[in-house]
Amino acid sequence: EKTKTSFFDQLSKAVVGKSTVDEEVLDDLESVLVHADVGIDTTVKVIDRIEKRVARDKYVGTSELDRILREEIADLLQKNDSGSTAVLERADREDSGGQPFVIMVVGVNGVGKTTTIGKLAHRFHSAGKKVVLGAADTFRAAAVDQLIIWGQRVGVPVISHGMNTDPASVAYDAVKKGVEMQADVVIIDTAGRLHNKVNLMNELSKIKRVMQKVIPDAPHEVLLVLDGSTGQNAFLQAKEFTKATEVSALAITKLDGTAKGGVVIGISDQLNVPVRYIGVGEKMTDLQLFDRRTFVDSLFSKK
């Protein structure tokens, strides 16, 4: 097993002072990136960029090479990671025309949607904002109870019609309640669904449309939650959810484990969607703003 230093040492040895990068080094780089779930296509893209930089700059030094590599990868991630901090401010009645800022949370089964909503609610609530949650997962066993417990933990109201009710009408009511209560943020939980199920994806579009009857430009954010341990399938998830709901931001969960979540690099690059949050545990404080640099560094570290 190669450690972080030995990888860069080796990379440097084979590149420093040369105008091309040799095959063996690229194989090593490929191995590091692929093991982080970056995927072949994006990996090839990174390698191409490095080769071009090396060919152009010639005689790169060790520290420079390290920097170039990190830069090139970070570059593939959506440029505006200031977007992460901005959303806290954006989630404001002022900015959404005197209406609550509506966040709709979507994703496949079990990725951490409900938990992320609990964490987000805590984050907004702690920042002094008035938060309302909508329990629009009326399908999965005890999903409503789960969100209600999160609401109690955080101390924010949860709008629910109980299980097996129409999710769109729950979302409608939650947004309406949000307006009436002059809430700053309304967050809608939705049932997990696999992106290849057409009916379920259509249901999401419907939930979205119904909310617009209350606030025409709602939801202001569609947050797609991706499990950090997911492999290349995350690409398809991002594509299909974007098609159905115009995803505007990503959250990557479970990064407290050994998985690196590298697949988001290619997703963010291709779909032009910023990663906003990362989940690093099951507690309500285990949510962090996404930072490109830290994320890229973690790809090369051994956990």
Ligand X SMILES: Nc1nc2c(ncn2[C@@H]2O[C@H](COP(=O)(O)OP(=O)(O)OP(=O)(O)O)[C@@H](O)[C@H]2O)c(=O)[nH]1
| Token pair for 84 | 């992460």
Rank residues 53 and 254 by Cβ distance to other proteins and give the closer one.
254
Nearer to ligand X, 72 or 137 (CB): 137
User: Which residue has its beta carbon closest to ligand X?
Assistant: 192
Nearer Cβ to ligand X (143/183): 143
| Position 113 contacts Mg ion (CB under 5 A) | yes
The option from ligand X, Mg ion, other proteins, none interacting with 142 (CB < 5 to 8 A, set by class) reads other proteins
Give which of 163, 158, 194, 195 is closest to 177, Cα–Cα: 158
Binding residues for ligand X, rule: CB under 6 A, are 107, 109-115, 137, 140, 143, 191-192, 194, 253-254, 256, 279-282, 286
Q: How many CA atoms lie within 13 A of 141 on its CB side?
A: 0
- Residue 114 makes contact with Mg ion by CB under 5 A: yes
Distance in Å, CB of 229 to other proteins, minimum: 5
246: left (phi over 0), alpha (psi -120 to 50) or beta: left
Interacting partner of 258 out of Mg ion, ligand X, other proteins, none (Cβ under 5 to 8 A depending on kind): other proteins
Reading the block at residue 103, the tokens are 């966040």
- The CA R_g of the chain, rounded to the nearest whole Å, is 21
Distance CA 94, CA 97 (A): 6
Q: By three-state DSSP, how is residue 278 classified? A: strand
Least distance between other proteins and beta carbon 268 (Å):
16
Q: Is the link from the previous residue into 219 a cis peptide, with omega within 30 of 0?
A: yes
Residue carrying structure tokens 């955080």: 154
Of 111 and 170, nearer to other proteins (C-beta) is: 111
Q: Which positions lie near other proteins, rule CB under 8 A?
A: 31, 34-37, 39-40, 108-112, 118, 139-143, 145-146, 149-150, 153, 194-197, 227, 229-234, 236, 254, 256-260, 263, 282, 303
For residues 282 and 289, the answer to whether their CB atoms sit within 8 Å is: no
Q: How far is the CB of 160 from other proteins (least distance, A)?
A: 13
Q: How far is CA 185 from CA 163, 196, 233, 282, in A?
A: 23, 30, 31, 22
Q: Which of 120, 118, 125 is nearest to 143 (CA)?
A: 118
> CB 117 → ligand X: shortest distance, Å?
8
Give which of Mg ion, other proteins, ligand X, none residue 195 binds (C-beta under 5 to 8 Å, depending on kind): other proteins
Question: Which partner, ligand X, other proteins, Mg ion, none, binds residue 284 by CB below 5 to 8 Å per kind?
Answer: none
CB of 110 to other proteins, least distance (A): 3
Work out the number of other CB atoms within 10 angstroms of the CB of residue 82.
9
Chain residues binding Mg ion by CB under 5 A are 113-114
